[in-house]
Amino acid sequence: MKKTLAILLALSLMLVMLVACGETTPATTTADAVTTADAPANTDAPETDAPETDDPEVTTTEAPETTEEVVELEPYTDATVVYLATGGKGNGSSADSPVSNLAAALDCLDLTKDCTVVICDYFMLDTTFVYTETFEGTVTITSNYDGVDYRDAGAEFAAMACRFVCSGEYVVRDVDFTLLGNFLFFIANHYPITIDTGVTMTSMSLDFNGSSFANAFGILGGYQNGQPVVVGGELPPVETDADVNITVNSGINFSIGAYSRQIENAVNTGTATINIGGDALVTRLYLTPCNKPFTSGNVIVNVTDNANVTNIYGATSVGTSDGATINWLGGTIGMYADVLQDTHELIATNGVHLVHTEAVKADANFATVSAEFDSVTQQ
């Protein structure tokens, strides 16, 4: 009997030990599973985790976050197209690999040729832009290139109140500008400048109305006092015979100066040609150097299409001009005056003349505007 009880007791103890051993095995398996599942969450390097896991979700979701697959870091130079976006960390060779600032964008280009800067995402100009050298080619800035309009995905040109200093010819086309201050001021330095079709302007400031360079999308055909043309360059000359060529075909609240600004006794004897067309709205147009005594050349203004030129002023100071011809071929002109203020004086050696089409005579302002010119001629 005792032997039987001993055997039964022994069997009971063995059963207890087996059950105990059976509980430890799943506990160990559970711990291993937790460790394996947590490992990908504790690292930011999916390229090292992927071989260590069979979970396809880890590879699929984390691999796109690695920018090395799309960002090109090889040198990209002597190009004719470059891509630009704030925060870009690439070499500018594609929309997936943009550079982050304008100077870097121009550094990529062969500026002896016609080149394009593509704003492919949000870009902000937060300080005055001055490039390091002058160039012979043309730079087109656009958000619409090679069949892709990047504005559809939010591309825009945002700008603080600052200057864009030209050291070569620029064309702006299909760009949405967002002004974060009262103005953006393009200083052409006698290089041709075109604000072409598809350009829009909005501003965070209620003062953005085009009433002065300080409250406008400004374009100055000549030099700005105190502003070098290139980084580290000399101050602009007082005298020049260089021509001016300004074209605007879209956009609003422009303030345009034909020649220089704030240069004492400026002598600008080149011809200024200003073309205003499309649906552009020019609030103010100044036909002579601004704000200081001057001597200036002949000005030709062509107003066409559905453009609206609200105010044209002959002078904002005291000076002598060769004269001007306003070709009113379409659109609207709100008013013309020889001077902005009574203290100003314009001596136009060859007069200020209006040439117009038959169609514009129907404009409500025609009689008032035409009365201010030295001569009026119908085409």
Residue pLDDT, tens place only, 2-21: 334 333 434 443 433 333 33
Domain assignment present for residue 305? The answer is yes
From 36, 69, 102, the end of a domain falls on 69
Whole-number pLDDT of residue 70: 59
Residue 95 within a domain: no
Question: What is residue 71's predicted lDDT score, i.e. its pLDDT?
Answer: 72
pLDDT at 66 over 80: no
CB neighbourhood size of 164 (10 A) = 21
Give yes or no: residues 168 and 33 share one domain.
Answer: no
Q: Quick one: 54 and 164 in the same domain?
A: no
Q: Count structural domains, the chain.
A: 2
Residue that is last in its domain, among 15, 50, 69: 69
Q: What is the spatial distance between Cα 116 and Cα 82, in angstroms, rounded to a whole number? A: 6
Q: Give me the pLDDT at residue 205, please.
A: 95
Q: What pLDDT digit, counting tens, does each position of 352-367 carry?
A: 999 999 999 999 999 9
Is residue 350 located within the same domain as residue 205? yes
Distance, in Å, from the CA atom of 291 to the CA atom of 224, rounded to the nearest integer, reads 11
Q: Are residues 34 and 181 in the same domain?
A: no
User: What average pLDDT does the segment 58-69 reach?
Assistant: 35
What percent of the chain clears pLDDT 70, i.e. is strictly above it? Answer: 81
Is residue 300 in a domain?
yes
Can you give the pTM of this predicted structure?
0.81
The whole domain housing 44 covers 25-69
Beta strands across the sheet bearing 156-159 = 122-125, 156-159, 176-179, 200-203
Helix (H) or strand (E) holding 311: strand 308-315
CA proximity to 255, closest of 246, 268, 264: 246
63 and 169 part of one domain: no
Mean pLDDT of 69-86: 88
**202 and 320 both lie in a single domain:** yes
CA atoms within 13 A on the CB side of 167: 20
Kindly state whether residues 306 and 172 are assigned to the same domain: yes
Q: Residue 316's closest CA among 255, 252, 272, 253?
A: 255
Average pLDDT over residues 128-156: 98
User: In the 8-state DSSP scheme, what is residue 155?
Assistant: -
Mean model confidence pLDDT for the chain: 86
Domain check: are 330 and 192 in the same one? yes
The verdict on 55 and 165 lying in the same domain is: no
Question: Does residue 260 register a pLDDT over 90?
Answer: yes
Size of the chain, expressed as the number of residues it contains? 379
294 domain residue, yes or no: yes
- Say if residue 204 is in the same domain as residue 330: yes
| Residue 190 zone, left/alpha/beta (φ > 0; ψ -120 to 50; rest) | left
Task: Tell whether 96 is covered by a domain.
Answer: no
Residue 132 lies in a domain: no
Same domain, 64 and 183: no
Confidence of residue 119 (pLDDT cuts 50, 70, 90): very high
Per-residue pLDDT at 73: 79
> Residue 282 has which token pair?
């020019």
Q: Is residue 113 part of a domain?
A: no
Which of 69, 87, 104 is a domain's end point?
69
Question: Residue 165 corresponds to which tokens in the numbers above?
Answer: 């200093």
Pairing between β-strand 144-145 and β-strand 148-149 as defined by DSSP bridges: antiparallel
Return the pLDDT at 46.
Answer: 34
- Give me the mean pLDDT over the 222-229 stretch: 98
The answer to whether residues 233 and 358 belong to one domain is yes
Residue 318 covered by a domain:
yes
